[in-house]
Structure 1
Amino acid sequence: MSSPSPRSRPFHQVDVFSREAYRGNPLAVVVDAEGLTAEQMQQFANWTNLSETTFLLPPTDPRADYRVRIFTGSEEFAFAGHPTLGSAHTWLESGGVPKAEGFVMQECGAGLVRVKHDDGRLAFAAPPLTRFGPAEGELRSQLAAGLRVPESDILDASWLVNGPEWIGVLLGSADQVLAIEPDFAAMGELKVGVVGAHRPGAEADFEVRTFLPGDSIMEDPVTGSFNAGVAQWLINSNRAPGQYVAAQGTVLGRAGRVHVTTEDGDIWVGGHSTTCIRGTVLL
């Protein structure tokens, strides 16, 4: 049996985590993905050659406003941060009306994720970490080799899994983070995020970089999922205040800004989104 003929579907390309268009992290969004198979979604995500592509679908949970599937060029993620914000932005821009005032409820592989308006930005509630604990022994040595830093420079390292299998590495300063020249071969298949504090008075409080060896995007411009995990790690260990701004993408010529706030026990991760391309795609 032949496959159905492609049809025209609304398509947006959105820049996430930056006030300036083309200075954040781009996301491709297929607004009406009903009828597409996982194989078709994966093929299209591979073709866009972006860090992630999302597909909006009717929800299966009655509490949700929409359902999203999130694909990198090679795999599907249960959750990811900048695709969550960019998808919510696109759903609202395409005429979506939330069931609850002030909140969008997204359904994804990791479950339900709340997204709210926060001072002109969209922000998602950081999902619980499904794996959290120290990265020690040989793993810590591998991290040092992959980042090309002395093992003694690593103040702490921890699993921060909330979909992607992130390992967080804390260095002593933002300058150390910016100076990293990674050895991707030494990293192997590890997904590594690094964070260090800026000097007081800087525009941002922390500098973040994330590395994805073996992926089409070896260093992610701005990463919501890692920032969500690292926020829980740093705030709960009193290494960061309950409200701060992280910069990411600096060495890539981007101006990513991730706004972290704490409210009623929830940690919210937010940023600005801007639609850069709007049209249709045949799928």
Structure 2
Amino acid sequence: MHRFSQVDVFSDEPHRGNPVAVVHAAEDLDEGQMSSFARWTNLSETTFLLPPTQLGADYRVRIFTPTVELPFAGHPTLGSAHAWLEAGGEPRAADELVQECAAGLVRVRRGERLELAAPPLLRSGAVGKAEVTRIAAALRLEPGQLVDAAWVDNGPGWLGLLLDSAQTVLALDPDWAALAGRDVGVLGPYPDREQGRVGAQVEVRAFCAGKGMSEDPVTGSLNAGLAQWLTADGRLPARYVAAQGTALGRAGRVHVRREEDQVWVGGATRTVVRGEVDLSR
């Protein structure tokens, strides 16, 4: 039997963020058992906590979707850090812990909320014209609604689109067959008059056709990549809040801030399920 936690991430409202399943002390499990359990939970991600293997790490995590293992993902990082601390984990530093994952070491700060240091982009810069045209058609975008596009891949493979408005983002109805094989994140700004009501400056959606999923409710890795792209050139401020999950009935709020060249992505974390799980064969 293994200790088990299910953590809701990125929402102050109970059960309206993005849940992650966390299996503790998973060093006796092989990859097949991990993958099988992730398929069974059917959440966007399931993580497994392990002893670290790299100098400076407090713990190691493996991150699985129902179909693939990811080198890095945002809400599983924050949810796993929350579960590790709640289970009695003691980081080397009082105000920060270091997670080891396939993408390397990721810093997580403790404060008003947990926040992760966005890892470097593995792929950035302009997207080819043919690819932009294909994605725009798959999202059924009208002329003028697409402002810009860039690679914002920090592990999961994200292609980012800046749209003209939050309203356009919320109205998207993708052609999933045409989107197949690509993970696309979209962001659009709210008018100044609506930002106070919404509690956010932008609306984000994450379409995960490349991972055999549809839409992810609230996505830390995508928000990290979008922030690295759009705060660097001043199109987003150094501090802002992104709403995500609205189209799915969620209330995700991702808190983003840039300190010089480092982007930090944070949000609320809350354990909603505690218990044990039997992963024996």
TM-score range, shorter chain: over 0.9
Residues 70 and 80, structure 1, Cα contact 8 Å, conserved in 2:
yes
Q: 1:133 offset after TM fit, Å?
A: 1.5
**TM-superposed deviation, 1:146:** 1.2
1:121-200 to structure 2, matched below 5 A, reads 121-200=113-192
Mapped contact 1:141–1:151 kept (Cα < 8 A): no
Letter paired with 1:72: T
Alignment deviations for residues 246-283 of structure 1 (CA, whole Å, 9 cap, x no partner): 00000100000000012243110000011000000011
Shift of 1:47: 0.5
Structure 2 residue aligned with 1:103: 96
Aligned residues: 275
Counterpart in 2 of 1:27? Answer: 20
Q: Does 1:258 align with 2:254?
A: yes
1:249 equivalent in alignment to 2:245: yes
Equivalent in the alignment of 1:63? 56
Unaligned runs of 5+ in 1: 1-7
> What secondary structure does 2:7 align onto?
strand
> What residue identity is the alignment partner of 1:164?
P
Aligned mates of 2:210, 2:237 — CA distance in 1: 34
TM superposition shift of 1:216: 5.3
Supply the distance in 2 between the matched residues of 1:108 and 1:151 (Cα, whole angstroms).
Answer: 41
User: Offset of 1:214 from its aligned partner?
Assistant: 5.9
TM-score by structure 2 length? 0.96
The whole-number CA distance in structure 2 between the counterparts of 1:115 and 1:161 is 20
Q: 1:221 aligns with which of 202, 206, 217?
A: 217
TM-score by length of 1: 0.95
Q: Confirm whether residue 36 of structure 1 aligns to residue 36 of structure 2.
A: no
- Which 4+ runs in 1 deviate beyond 6 A? none
C-alpha distance in structure 2 between counterparts of 1:149 and 1:94, whole Å: 46
Aligned partner of 2:231 in structure 1 is: 235
**One-letter amino acid matched to 1:136:** G
Matched residues in 2 for 1:10 and 1:264: separation? 39
2: CA distance between counterparts of 1:188 and 1:145?
12
CA distances 1:133-163 after superposition (whole Å, capped 9, x unpaired): 1113210111111111025421111111101
1:18 aligns with 2:11: yes
Aligned counterparts of 1:21 and 1:150: Cα–Cα separation in 2? 36
Matched residue type, 1:89: H
SS state at 1:185 partner: helix
Contiguous gaps of at least 5 residues in structure 2: none
Deviation sequence 1:2-50 (CA, Å, 0-9, x none) = xxxxxx1000001000011210001000011011111110010011000
RMSD of the alignment, in Å? 1.1
